[in-house]
Chains A and B, each alone.
Chain A
Amino acid sequence: MESLVNRTKFRLLLILVFGTLSLIGLFIYSLTVGSYNIGWYDAISAFFSAVSNGGETTTTEERIVYLVRFPRFLAAVGVGIGLAIAGVIMQAVVRNPLVDPYITGVSSGASFGAVSFMMLGFMSGTMAVYALPISAFIGAVAAFFITIGVSEASGGRPITFVLSGVIVGFAFSSLTNILVVENPDQLKGVLFWMFGSLTAPDLTQCAILLFVVAIIGAIVLLYARELNVILLGEEQGSQLGVNVRKVKLLMMVLSSIVTAVCVAFTGVIAFLGLIVPHMARMLVGGDHRLLLPASIIIGANFLLATDILCRFIGDLPIGAIVSLIGAPFFGYLLIRRGKEYSN
């Protein structure tokens, strides 16, 4: 028999090569798509001339490519990877493939944290760029722990987790709505939080986003084998020598941070963290050493491709489009699993 480990390594390599190639293709394409018409050759040369000038833009093309479409690409990649990682982690930690940052109420909590921060009026000042994700993080952690608390108190089964996430999500969304209605003068500034949009972050914010996503992604990848063990449950995991509680706590905090940062800059993009790990699982199976890289690659490609699609159909908010794709997908999963339960 050929080496099983080498076979796994080869599959990982395939995923990385093809995923990166397709991401490069989509990147170039994404620079050309939008209301202002730029050919792909002009787009690339405008991009490189802006980069070689250290970010100084002179022509309209350069401004559009470097200051509008490039950050949008970075945001799509960052959020696509970030929410995919958060989804994989949450699914492993609660041992339930039906959860993601949105289902568990974490996105709504982060969104509430971010909106209340803005409403309190600290939006100006140099620290705002850091304080915004931090307040989103506080909301995210609060939401996650309330969800877990309610779920555990009601039996800790997969379905109770989903339901308590829905409860917490609704509660935080309502609070956000009240805040928004009470401060109508700031409505425009926060509207995108509720829809989810990749147009808001500038290059600095994208850099923060990518920095956080890269660090957390690296940590999570180091824990890939522990995540595999966690799938077997607390007792089996401990029995294999993993401190399951400690790893779970670390993973919950990491997934909350990465969700919070994504939500802080681009708003709520529902279901992404659910769809992407499932696609990856269909392709490569359950081993996190393959599943995590595959989810990262698919997450980046998927959100970027969806964003390009959004621009074609008149710049619709991406959160709505992803939800439109995600809702039937989630329904399909429920139906399939529901059938499995009744067997």
Chain B
Amino acid sequence: MRCINGLLRPQRGTITIDGKNIEKMKIKDVAKICANVPADCNEDFNLTVQELIFLGRYPHVDGMWWESKRDEGIVLEAIKQFKLEHLVDRRLNELSSGEKERALLAKAIVQKPKVLLADEPSAHLDLRYKLEVMENLKEMASQGVTVITASHDMNLTSKFCDRVVMLSEGRIIAAGKPSEVITEERIREIYNVEVSIFKDGDEIFAIPRRSIR
């Protein structure tokens, strides 16, 4: 993921978005097509929700200091989309983890990315917020954004993702539809865990049984 948004260089191969090589682009131009949602963020500085979301417009603002009417329109739209209207003046450290995650998603979406990277977006959230985040990401995907997430949660992944790439020690083990990639054999191989997998159409449910020593 860090290679995709230009923070690290791939050791081999190249990464292209819309046919453009990431490595040959300026960091600010990468920021215009590629956004990410961090798992957590610094909340020591009394930043308000509104200020955080405006930061997402950073790569697009042409003026020296202030955002334009257009920037503001995009921010207001995102505030509405993520139901943050009543929270715009709240400071980040006053939010619940679910609210904060929504604010971070809004910050990413105002960046108007083609590719959205979410590194374990649901790892520290409770069940309801987990679903909420994934639903929000799914909605972005339906608006034409390519959403890439890293996750250890097989059930959530299979429910929400169109394609899954299974990695182990830096190598791709399998890629394809969730129901094809996530199998009992592969899980045993990679995680050393025995699971039972049930299928319901395209959806699958992985139930952990025991770890193998």
**Interface of A with B (CB < 8 Å)?**
1, 3-5, 9, 91-92, 95-97, 222, 224-225, 228-229, 231-233, 235-236, 238-243, 281, 285-287, 289, 340
Contacts and interface: CB of A to CB of B under 8 A. Distances in A.
The 8 closest A-B pairs by CB, nearest first: A241-B31, A241-B28, A241-B59, A286-B45, A286-B46, A286-B47, A240-B58, A287-B51
Contacts of A241: 26-32, 58-59
B38 A235 contact: yes
B100 to A, nearest CB: 13
B44 A97 contact: yes
A240 B41 contact: no
Interface in B24-83: 26-32, 34-36, 38, 41-42, 44-48, 50-51, 54-56, 58-59, 61, 64-67, 69, 71-72, 75-76
A285 B45 CA distance: 8
Interface residues of B, number: 44
Given A5-B72, A95-B44, A240 B56 contact: yes
Nearest to B71: A5
B7 A4 contact: no
Given A240-B55, A240-B111, A233 B65 contact: no
B141 interface: no
Contacts of B7: 235, 238-239
A228 B46 contact: no
B95 to A, nearest CB: 14
B31 A232 contact: no
Given A233-B42, A238-B27, A242-B27, 19 more contacts: A3-B69, A5-B66, A5-B72, A95-B42, A225-B58, A235-B2, A238-B5, A238-B6, A239-B7, A239-B34, A239-B36, A240-B31, A241-B26, A241-B30, A241-B58, A241-B59, A281-B46, A286-B46, A340-B93
Contact of A232 (B5, B42, B66): B42
Nearest to B27: A241
Nearest to B6: A238
A1 B85 CA distance: 10
Given A1-B76, A5-B72, A243-B27, A228 B51 contact: yes
Nearest to A224: B65
Interface string B71-109: 110011000000001001001010000000000000000
Contacts of B45: 91-92, 95, 97, 231, 281, 286
B75 to A, nearest CB: 7
A5 to B, nearest CB: 5
Contact of B55 (A1, A92, A232): A232
Contacts of B42: 95, 231-233
Contact of A242 (B32, B54, B58): B58
Nearest to B51: A287
A340 B54 CA distance: 26
A239 B35 contact: yes
Given A240-B59, A241-B31, A222 B64 contact: yes
A4 B65 contact: no
Given A97-B45, A235-B7, A241-B30, A286 B65 contact: no
A3 B72 contact: yes
B46 A233 contact: no
Q: Looking at A92, A229, A287, which has the most chain B CB atoms within 10 Å of its CB? A: A287
Nearest to B34: A239
Contacts of B54: 4
Contacts of B93: 340
A240 B61 CA distance: 11
B61 A225 contact: yes
B41 A236 contact: yes
A224 B41 CA distance: 20
Given A239-B7, A285-B91, A289-B65, A229 B58 contact: yes
Contacts of B67: 5
Contact of A96 (B5, B29, B44, B46): B44
